[in-house]
Amino acid sequence: LQNDHKALMKQVEEALHKLHAREKEKHAKDEAEALAEAMSQNQSLPQAFAKVNSVTPGSPASVSGLQVDDEIVEFGSVNVNNFQNLQNIATVVQHSEGRPLSVTVIRGGRRVHVGLTPKRWAGKGLLG
């Protein structure tokens, strides 16, 4: 009986080691997949619908931090799904005079949020 018990306990111990090793491999594989998915989500930037060609120094756009070559992803309520032409942006700007707008741009491969408040200033337009 003692010999049978020792042999059986050894089999149980080996089976437990195999089970835990498989579980450890599965956990490492799941972590690697989750990390790869997170990296791919970070790299998949939204599509831009407009690009900033110029920013006048001292203008509301300049003060807010908007820069030349920023690619606009969202401008207030305007995004790639509902953008038709620049008149969409002009309408949002006119209706938001004096109120902050949330603007999302892609700058240097990264997503950047800018708070832009259209207002009258010494130059032309409400943005500059």
**Range of weakest confidence among 35-39, 80-84, 119-123:** 35-39
Q: List pLDDT tens digits, range 5-63.
A: 888 999 999 999 999 999 999 998 988 888 887 766 556 677 888 899 999 998 989 89
pLDDT, residue 22, reads 94
Mean pLDDT of the chain, nearest integer: 87
Topology of the domain covering 50-116: Pdz3 Domain (2.30.42)
Q: Name the pTM for this structure.
A: 0.61
Q: Please say whether the beta carbons of 54 and 124 come within 8 A.
A: no
User: Phi and psi at residue 41, in whole multiples of 5°?
Assistant: -70, -40
Q: What percentage of the chain exceeds 90 in pLDDT?
A: 22
Residue 17 is predicted with a pLDDT of 95
| Structural domain spans, the chain | 1-42, 50-116
Place of tokens 């030349």: 68
Higher pLDDT, 73 or 128: 73
Stretch 103-109: mean pLDDT: 87
Q: For position 1, what pLDDT does the model report?
A: 63
Q: Are 116 and 61 contacting, i.e. CB atoms less than 8 angstroms apart?
A: yes
